Structure 1
């Protein structure tokens, strides 16, 4: 659902952009698509963006094309979709072949959906790997045409791992929203622990972050045997999450909500990071793989950026929420 691409910098040079008819159309469509459901590699410790900016300032690119490309890059930046990768090997000599080498190095560590390079560079470098795609064929490549914003899958832990791993690898903030989520059932707590173990884990390193959980009223939601006071539930959450926080380095915050008298039901379920938002209507509980025959089918859907902001800034904000805030607790490393 969140597809990671690399584009080598020479693609942004005037000769490459103007070589496509109409000028820049393929690159612009690529960037717009990645801004919707992808990540773009900022290679060599962020030097990639420096080179792209230099190419964009060069003479020979029409103002209209330059503005469209700049707009896409700005959107990627604003959505935290430009992913900084470690410095490549062999120092600082950055010619076109070196940039392709650095992209291939990163692919070996953490595979991209595709590496897009100019047709000329692919030919001169004699690259035969199928994941290295010439710009002219990028929009027809399987890595592009087979993207989906609405995967359907059975609710098992292995499928959860499969779909959240690319969502969480470069995230530093995660919000889990499910009125039925609780720490007394493994099918929910295992989801929290799995997400915590995957968040910020890439390139052999782990970056600590924050995880918020929004759940429902423990006095009225969930199995009768698990119902308890808000105070007891928050204490139980803190006890359950503290070992996970210490193991992963992430900080947790749990907030409980209930329906206001005559107000809106707390019903929808979401998984939201600082890069994208996912609607999970079937809930955030998943079964062990050995219970696959009991697992129900679910469909996730990627949310538009504006919808995601509305959920975080309005639906679960103390002063604006349509729900009644009950209390919160924290668990820290």
Structure 2
């Protein structure tokens, strides 16, 4: 299961009358909030019509539900999805039907609703907010994922991040597009092809190649040439730009975005050895923010040697 997952919520989840008491609603919505704001996106059905339901007080929206929606908006965790069914949904049941239709078109992880709606479905994708722990897809959630070191598996696990994040930092001290083991990396950037607005993309690596007595300091113009020769044409066609930061030294590898942070112990290089397996781990919000600050030139945690843009 990817470390960032997409869900759909029916409107009754936010309705205070769906819960036996205000306290029960607060507990269940707070539990859902912690998951969504750490590891989730919410599908904004019918090109934003779902979100527009909450613009007025036609229903008694629960205060915790309103807080959750506000956080989803400010953290840009709502993902617009086109209308699928012909008729506009007017009831919670019909919104669940729209969610299922969108799931058929592009699979998501699960649909969160209330028991009044969930009891009408045998579909395993549908679960009531008060029985989430019983849903197989909810139980499969994990802070880590095991994958082979192939660009195909990297792409599958990062696709939602690459399609939705507004800023992405690839932090790998050895990332060098002129080396065979990194030549497929460009296909990850291609997932962001023609996004509008284009995301902010950063590459962070060290200023040298090799280690110990074989360490070789690479000149700035040589780094620019390597990245431009390998990526410039492809990025130009994709309407993307990448900023490359060359640092004095660091060791750990990460992917840091505004949606999720991931520890990537072996970096983003690939191998043909199918037995080479790595484990990626999702960072907590504090850790993600700390890593982002670590690679901000203004903090002086590392010495920035130079930076340049591609193309």
Tell me the TM-score range normalised by the shorter chain.
0.7 to 0.9
CA shift for structure 1 position 21: 7.6
Corresponding pairs, count: 309
Name the structure 2 match of 1:292: 274
Q: Structure 1: give runs of 5+ residues left out of the alignment.
A: 260-265
- Preserved contact between residue 180 and residue 221 of structure 1 (Cα < 8 Å): no
For the structure 1 residues 330 and 223, does the alpha-carbon distance in structure 2 shift closer, same or farther, using more than 3 Å as the test? farther
Q: Deviations over 1:292-313 (max 9, x none)?
A: 14x2x3221111223222322x
CA shift for structure 1 position 154: 2.9
CA shift for structure 1 position 9: 0.7
CA shift for structure 1 position 148: 0.7
Q: Deviations over 1:143-179 (max 9, x none)?
A: 1121011223332233212321233232232210111
For the structure 1 residues 127 and 118, does the alpha-carbon distance in structure 2 shift closer, same or farther, using more than 3 Å as the test? same
CA shift for structure 1 position 92: 4.4
The separation in 2 between residues aligned to 1:223 and 1:137, in whole angstroms, is: 59
The separation in 2 between residues aligned to 1:88 and 1:235, in whole angstroms, is: 47
For the structure 1 residues 96 and 46, does the alpha-carbon distance in structure 2 shift closer, same or farther, using more than 3 Å as the test? same
3-state SS of the aligned residue for 2:246?
Answer: strand
After TM superposition, the structure 1 = structure 2 runs for residues 57-96 of structure 1, keeping only pairs within 5 Å, are: 58-59=59-60, 66=63, 68-90=64-86, 92=88, 94-96=90-92
- Preserved contact between residue 175 and residue 214 of structure 1 (Cα < 8 Å): yes
The separation in 2 between residues aligned to 1:222 and 1:86, in whole angstroms, is: 54
Name the structure 2 match of 1:263: none
For the structure 1 residues 74 and 186, does the alpha-carbon distance in structure 2 shift closer, same or farther, using more than 3 Å as the test? farther
Name the structure 1 match of 2:175: 181
Name the structure 1 match of 2:286: 306
The separation in 2 between residues aligned to 1:143 and 1:208, in whole angstroms, is: 32
Name the structure 1 match of 2:184: 190
The separation in 2 between residues aligned to 1:53 and 1:25, in whole angstroms, is: 24
3-state SS of the aligned residue for 2:79?
Answer: strand
For the structure 1 residues 321 and 140, does the alpha-carbon distance in structure 2 shift closer, same or farther, using more than 3 Å as the test? farther
- Preserved contact between residue 193 and residue 239 of structure 2 (Cα < 8 Å): no
Equivalent in 14, 29, 32 of residue 30 of structure 1: 32
| TM-score relative to the length of structure 1 | 0.81
Name the structure 1 match of 2:306: 327
- Preserved contact between residue 247 and residue 305 of structure 2 (Cα < 8 Å): yes
3-state SS of the aligned residue for 1:139?
Answer: helix
- Preserved contact between residue 279 and residue 301 of structure 1 (Cα < 8 Å): yes
3-state SS of the aligned residue for 1:147?
Answer: coil
CA shift for structure 1 position 53: 5.1
3-state SS of the aligned residue for 1:292?
Answer: coil
Q: Deviations over 1:185-212 (max 9, x none)?
A: 1322312x122122379xxx88633321
Name the structure 1 match of 2:220: 230
- Preserved contact between residue 174 and residue 212 of structure 1 (Cα < 8 Å): yes
3-state SS of the aligned residue for 1:45?
Answer: helix
Q: Structure 2: give runs of 5+ residues left out of the alignment.
A: none
Name the structure 1 match of 2:243: 253
CA shift for structure 1 position 222: 9.9
C-alpha RMSD of the superposition: 2.9
- Preserved contact between residue 200 and residue 242 of structure 2 (Cα < 8 Å): yes
Q: Deviations over 1:93-131 (max 9, x none)?
A: 5332332232122212221111122222234xx433211
| TM-score relative to the length of structure 2 | 0.87
For the structure 1 residues 108 and 169, does the alpha-carbon distance in structure 2 shift closer, same or farther, using more than 3 Å as the test? farther
- Preserved contact between residue 176 and residue 226 of structure 2 (Cα < 8 Å): no
Q: Are 2:106 and 1:110 equivalent residues in the alignment?
A: yes
3-state SS of the aligned residue for 1:309?
Answer: helix
The separation in 2 between residues aligned to 1:207 and 1:292, in whole angstroms, is: 37
